[in-house]
Chains A and B, each alone.
Chain A
Amino acid sequence: MLRFSLSELLQLLKNFCFSFSGKMLEKILILLCLTSAAAGQLCKPDASDGYKVRLSIKTALGDQAYLWDEKEMFLFRSTMAYAMRGQLNQQFDVSNIIVCEETARVSFWFVVTSPLNTSNLVDKKSVEEAVRKHRNRINSAFLLTDETLEFEGIPRTLEAPFTPDTPPWLIVFGVVMGAVVAGIIVFIGFSVVQKKRKKNKKTPEDEDSEEEESRGKTMENGAANEGVYNMSFTDEERFTRI
């Protein structure tokens, strides 16, 4: 950016040196040198009011990654100007966002100058708030996310996890429990009905069963020959085998 501004200035210089006297030329030259030097001093690494930005385009977009060139940088500066306008309600312009120390990583430092006085920097706090407020818009301009478009020193705003009004687990629980309780009621109702039917059938047969009862105690096991095989004899059998 500095390169461009210098060449622009040189062009202007050429135009002016034909129309102005030598002294004016000297003053203008000095002024220009000062401003470019001032701009250089405004934006430097670890500037007190500047931020470092890192972009990881390939990580975010993979095959569809775009190349980072001066057009993208222009977009960045204009997006930042937009954010600053939204924050401070002043007429920020692209030229108010100064960028330096660009690397192949795609990282750079930027500072924001005040539109009222270009030698003053907007303080860090305002820049941070502007970025946080418009983080979503800045991210989407570049198709990136909070992690892949990193403003070093500006923490992400945390997204509250979505909590629905009725916890979904209670719904599933209600369904399962409802089915189980319904099943229990059905089973018990069924067996009660069956028992009632059996009782009605049994009353004519009561006289027969009394006779059977007197003939012998009956086993629950149902095995007919249980009465013959008696476990208590086991010890004696060993010794009294004939």
Chain B
Amino acid sequence: MAKTKDSKVEERPKWDNKVQYMLTCIGFAVGLGNVWRFPYLCQIYGGGAFLIPYLIALVFEGLPLLYLELAIGQRLRKGSIGVWNSISPLLGGVGIASMLVSFLVGIFYNTILAWVLWYFFHSFQNPLPWSQCPLNDNQTDYNVECQRSSPVNYFWYRETLNITPNIETSGSLQWWLVICLASAWCVVYICLIKGIKSMGKAVYVTATFPYLVLTIFLIRGLTLPGAIDGLVYLFTPNWDILKNPRVWLDAATQIFFSLSVAFGGLIAFSSYNEERNNCERDALLVGIINSATSLYASISIFAILGFKATTAFNSCQQDNILTLTNHFEIPDKNITLETYDQWFEHLNSTYPKEIANLPLWHCDLQTYLGQSASGTGLAFILFTEAVIEMPGSQVWAVLFFIMLLSLGLSSMFGNIEGVLTPINDLKLLPKWIPNEVVTAIICLISFLTALIFTLGSGNYWVEVFNNYVGSVPLLIIAFFEFIGVIYVHGMKNFSEDIYFMTGSRPSIFWRQCWLWISPLLLLIVLVAYVIVQAQEYPVYPAWNADREPFPGTDTLNYPEWVFAIIILLCVVPVLPIPLVALYRLILRCTKKSSARTDLNPYSNDGFQIET
């Protein structure tokens, strides 16, 4: 019997304890999208009614895929490329596709973290820099662009991004963003420096801190005036919206992208587990906690946004009160917010002509509540504006941005592991290079590639990557994952694997889901998504300071060369799947002998081949 342990060979790294593994998976799944995409979808798709398609998609699409990935990674104990190579060499491309997608998503995701870091660094000033406009060059008046939009918009678009009017104008590298990006990559590197040993310790903080901050914001938000209005607006169900197929599509895509499946990261994480581990319970826990976090975050966020809307409404009313008070010479503070309506009625009936000539705003709370945004617009514009109004703004700003940083970091770990684990497993690099150096090289290459996003047009490129890399390729990879595990590896073998690991075979629900419900759903979602995207020429919002009227964004068509890049971004990550299959087929056909190909049943790496 060959001794397999040797002082020269390293054992596969292991998690210190189950908690680290669970926190890492939860941290990977729970990311920025839970905080800034789900509440927005919930709001525009009829509040409480949106939860129905969302939960259906979770049960029939999200959980089966999650369980599948965790189980296959744990059983085969390899990263994504190794797993698919083991199942069938023809499917090796799936792993490479996962690795490519993880890399591409990682580079733009960390740019968002660089922006979060920038805001975090600026939250230590009093007053907050996004609360006032700077003066213009002559010191005679405030900066024109700032006055026309708002200090918050100005700080985001001009002082942070220094954005160009369109994607074709590249601008130059913004040095402040470069150093923020460098620090973001350094933070990622230091957490990953010892592989899962260091990452496992880092996730104790990065995975739990967001919950603490969300709770603090929830309590603070609920005590602010107008919070209830925001929550009512968010959760009031509009059942008619369920007839719109777009809602179902968005729910399915949201749950899919939210769980971070098909990146290869989850497979990598579960491969470091011990073999006999109840991955069914793990999958259920991760999936349910992810959705629960989305809900919890939306309550906190919308309490704060409700407060913001109420404040905006009140200041609009105050403007009107001032106009009326000044015009009719009514004593100060006779008209208040509460008595405004009565006064207005009275004045309107007595002096209708004068009222008609006054520049009175029409203030509507619903309009302010309806001003929603997702993504960077929510975090860097809406929320920062709300934070200015709260007493003790610096504390809330710092807490908020640290929360975003933790959420983003724990997702970044998964992305980078999705790249590192296959490289380590495939032994692509010579053994004498230590792991730390490999991690450093990957971080350095990612940093250099991500410098595109620090150009003047960087934000537009982040949008391009966000919309197109992190969408269609993942759906295709997930589809092939189902095919690969259930049909190529075989349902029976997979059930045996699960029996080996957990001690019981998967129930009929899981089997039916894996066999046809989930792949079918995924196929429908994929086709529908492609159709919806293809129906109109892709457009993007551009911030143009010279635009009339201002503020607002231009909606521009992507120029043709960008459109070509978009197509490339959708196609290139999934290209390895057919390419590798073809390559292996050709190899199999040309080399009839079984010495070199992996399909050799006699080469099981445990015993030496003696000829």
Could you list which residues of chain A lie within 8 angstroms of chain B, going by C-beta atoms? 54-59, 103-107, 158, 160-161, 168-170, 172-173, 176-177, 180-181, 183-184, 187-188, 191, 195, 202, 205, 209, 212-213, 215-224, 226-234, 236-238
Known: A184-B190, A184-B193. A227 touches B331 (CB 8 A): no
Cα A212 to Cα B8 in complex, Å, equals 10
Q: Which residues of A sit under 8 angstroms from B193, Cβ to Cβ?
A: 184, 187-188
Tell yes or no: B333 within 8 A of A by CB.
Answer: yes
User: How near does chain B come to A153, taking the closest CB pair, in angstroms?
Assistant: 13
Asked whether any CB of chain A lies closer than 8 Å to the CB of B7, the reply is yes
The answer to whether the Cβ of B428 comes within 8 Å of any Cβ in the partner chain is: no
Decide: A223 and B275 in contact? CB cutoff 8 A.
yes
A-B pair number, CB within 8 angstroms: 158
B183 CB contacts on chain A under 8 angstroms: 173, 176-177, 180
B4 lies within 8 A of A224 (CB) = yes
Q: Is the CB of A183 within 8 A of B6?
A: no
Residues of B whose CB lies within 8 Å of any CB of A are 2-12, 76-78, 86-87, 117-118, 120-122, 124-125, 132, 134-135, 139-142, 179-180, 182-183, 186-187, 189-190, 193-194, 198, 275, 325-326, 329-333, 425, 434, 436, 489-490, 492-493, 598-601, 603-608
Q: Which residues in B have their C-beta under 8 angstroms from that of A222?
A: 4-5, 9, 11-12
Q: A220-B11, A232-B600 are in contact. List 14 more A-B contacts (CB 8 A).
A: A59-B333, A104-B330, A106-B331, A107-B326, A168-B125, A187-B436, A188-B436, A195-B434, A212-B3, A216-B4, A218-B6, A223-B4, A223-B77, A231-B76
Query: Across the interface, which residues of B come within 8 angstroms of A220, CB to CB?
Result: 9-12, 425
Query: In the assembly, what is the distance between CA of A219 and CA of B6, in Å?
Result: 10
A161-B132, A212-B3, A215-B3 known; A184 vs B329 contact (CB < 8 Å): no
Give the docked Cα–Cα distance between A161 and B155 (Å). 14
Alpha-carbon distance A209/B180, docked complex (angstroms): 48
Q: Decide: A213 and B326 in contact? CB cutoff 8 A.
A: no
| Measured CA separation A223–B12 after assembly (Å) | 9
A58 touches B141 (CB 8 A): no
How near does chain A come to B460, taking the closest CB pair, in angstroms? Answer: 25
A176 to chain B, nearest CB (A): 6
Bound Cα distance A106, B331 (Å): 7
**A223-B275, A227-B606 given; A191·B436 CB < 8 A:** yes
Closest beta carbon of chain A to B195's beta carbon, Å = 11
Residues of chain A within 8 A of B135, CB atoms compared: 158, 160-161
The residues of B that contact A161 with a CB separation of less than 8 Å are: 132, 134-135
| Cross-chain contact B8 with A233 (CB below 8 angstroms) | no
Residue of B12, B135, B182, B332 with most chain A CB atoms under a 10 A cut-off: B332
Given the complex, which residues of B lie within 8 Å of A181, measured CB to CB?
Answer: 186
- Does A226 lie within 8 Å of B124, measured CB to CB? no
Bound: A230/B409 CA distance, A: 37
Q: Can you name 10 A-B residue pairings with CB atoms under 8 Å?
A: A55-B332, A104-B330, A105-B325, A160-B135, A169-B125, A180-B186, A188-B193, A191-B436, A218-B5, A234-B490
User: Which residues on the A side are within 8 Å of B122 (C-beta)?
Assistant: 168-169
Contact, CB under 8 Å: A227 / B87:
no
Measured CA separation A183–B325 after assembly (Å): 62
A207 to chain B, nearest CB (A): 12
A218 adjacent to B121 (CB under 8 Å): no
In the complex, what residue of chain B is closest to A160 when comparing beta carbons?
A: B135
**Which residue of the partner chain A has the closest CB to B425?**
A220
A160 to chain B, nearest CB (A): 6
Residues of A within 8 A of B325 (CB): 105
Q: How far is it, in angstroms, between the C-alpha of A172 and the C-alpha of B332 when the chains are bound? A: 45
Rounded to whole Å, the gap between the CB of A132 and the closest CB of chain B is: 13
Closest to A52 in B: B326
Query: A202 touches which one: B7, B275, B600 (CB < 8 A)?
Result: B7
Min distance, Cβ B65 to any Cβ of chain A, angstroms: 22
Tell me the bound Cα distance from A105 to B335 in angstroms: 11
**Which chain A residue lies CB-closest to B11?**
A222
Verify B606–A160 contact, CB threshold 8 A: no
Q: Is the CB of A216 within 8 A of B608?
A: yes
- CB of A233 within 8 A of CB of B6, answer no
